[in-house]
Structure 1
Amino acid sequence: MKKSLILLLLTTTISFAQGGLFGKDPIINLENFDKQKVHWGYFLGFNSLDFKFDYLQPAEDVSTQTTIGFNVGLVGNLRIIDHVDLRFEPGLYITQRNLTFPGIDNPVDALREVKSTYIYFPLLLKFSAKRAGNIRPYLVGGLSTALNLGSNSQAPDDNFNDRFRMKKWSNFYEVGFGIDLYLEYFKFSPSIRGVFSMNDELIRDNTPDSPWTGNVQSMKTRGIFINFTFH
């Protein structure tokens, strides 16, 4: 699935290239756009997230099946100096991960469908290369915090009652790259980023030797975001 998302990003970029953006002598669009101190935009996109598990004792890994999720949000961009911008990109990220726990004979009990809806608050630095015609590649990275609306963190029930619980708040770092494409009336920016949780997100079951959580030292989100931003 992650390969499909990357292929989608490359296909979209190539389609714009065929539209004349990378021609020998393109018409320069939005020539003064990046001179603005502040500008705004929005993004739509996709995500593919899974979990990285660490264990207290050597054991068979928890199997994680990823799905394609959906992203939507806003962009606020503050120009700091030439080639460096500060960005705030609050968004809604919807995803699902299916976990299969080893050592549990009943396949229904072993499977946990983890549906998450994150309200995501990233603060990022964007480092842009010199503009060439109507294209400008960039690197982006930063920190974020996210509220998981599907965490079940307040539920008294646990996996013995079919309730998988995660912490409500998580912190992440992310790194990625993208390309600014300057069109006639707006700037279009496809990007791909890796996102990595910095804290354990799992709430353990009430029973210490639970077959679901008893041997888990940490459970951290990791994955990719592909966003299509319009300014």
Structure 2
Amino acid sequence: MQNTHFWNKLYLHRLQVVFTGILLLNCVAGHAQVKHRVQKNNPNYDDKKLTYGFLIGLHTSTYQLKYSDAFVTNKFDTVHSVVPSWSAGFSLGFIVNYRLDDQVDVRITPKVGFYEHRISYIYTDDTPRDDQLIESTMVELPILLKYKSERRGNVRMYMIGGIVPAFEASGKKKTEERVLEISNTNLSIDAGFGFDLYYPLFKFSPEIRFSRGLVNMLGSSTGKYGEPLKRINTNTITLYFLFQ
């Protein structure tokens, strides 16, 4: 029941983020397609075995919650629902790309991500709505496989996916009992697509990627914030700008 409530509330927001990212990628790729007939930039770039670069990511992220059995007991009969919301953030990192063949690359992109997650506890009595803000700085090491189409002029489309281990790097301690305790490690699976746009001196790649957490991020199932919950997973949509 809680999953249905969660997706219904955030469905339109997610669609706006996805459609905006796709529209941006298509506009950039379309512009490059028009220009590719003029000249072929950096024609030997894809012959390199090892290439490097950096990336900037703009993301929106939320938690997906699963209630525990305790949620339906008398102890929490005044708790109407626990509702997560989407919050913006960004990430910075480096690119190490190894070419396996003309269409497949292995890519490692170590990066630092800055996240905010908001969870609201809504009550049925006169207790005011309780908003919890969880801030985290995560060191992430995506290990990705990139599958590329044939290059057409100065444009090449690709699909990308892999796993992303991550751990908390901010060193914050949960000193306040009122704060929901979250685990400092995560493992997610990523999938997305993008376009390689070739310029005379570099390659620029706008990319949209979807991330689904596989690890239960609930650090403690005790206390008035943790006990109603059984599981917390991360969901993230990221628009990347990669320069190589």
1:216 alignment partner in structure 2: 229
Deviations, residues 44-67 of structure 1 (Å, cap 9, x unaligned): 120111011112237654211222
1:53 alignment partner in structure 2: 65
**Is 1:169 aligned to 2:185, yes or no?**
yes
Which letter maps to 2:185? Answer: W
Which letter maps to 1:216? Answer: L
What is the percentage of aligned positions where both structures have the same residue?
24
Which letter maps to 1:51? Answer: Y
Range moving further from structure 2, 98-107 or 83-92: 98-107
**Is 1:198 aligned to 2:214, yes or no?**
yes
Cα displacement (A) at 1:24: 6.9
Cα displacement (A) at 1:25: 2.2
Structure 2 unaligned residues grouped into runs of 5+: 1-12, 73-79
Which letter maps to 1:10? Answer: L
Cα displacement (A) at 1:225: 1.2
Instruction: Please tell me the root mean square deviation across aligned C-alpha atoms, in Å.
Output: 2.3
Cα displacement (A) at 1:21: 3.7
Helix, strand or coil at the partner of 1:22: helix
Cα displacement (A) at 1:230: 0.4
TM-score (norm 2): 0.82
2:3 alignment partner in structure 1: none
Q: Using the alignment, how far apart are the partners of 1:193 and 1:95 within structure 2?
A: 16
Structure 2 counterparts to residues 76-95 of structure 1, below 5 A: 76-95=96-115
| Contact kept? 1:5, 1:46, Cα under 8 Å | no
Deviations, residues 8-56 of structure 1 (Å, cap 9, x unaligned): 56336525643x5434723111111011000000011201110111122
1:39 alignment partner in structure 2: 51
Q: Which has more helix, going by share of residues? A: 2
Which consecutive aligned stretches of 4+ in structure 1 deviate over 4 angstroms post-superposition?
Answer: 58-61
**Is 1:107 aligned to 2:123, yes or no?**
no
Structure 1 unaligned residues grouped into runs of 5+: none
Which letter maps to 1:137? Answer: M
TM-score (norm 1): 0.86
2:201 alignment partner in structure 1: 185
Q: Using the alignment, how far apart are the partners of 2:110 and 2:154 within structure 1?
A: 27
Q: Using the alignment, how far apart are the partners of 1:175 and 1:61 within structure 2?
A: 31
Q: Using the alignment, how far apart are the partners of 1:24 and 1:202 within structure 2?
A: 50
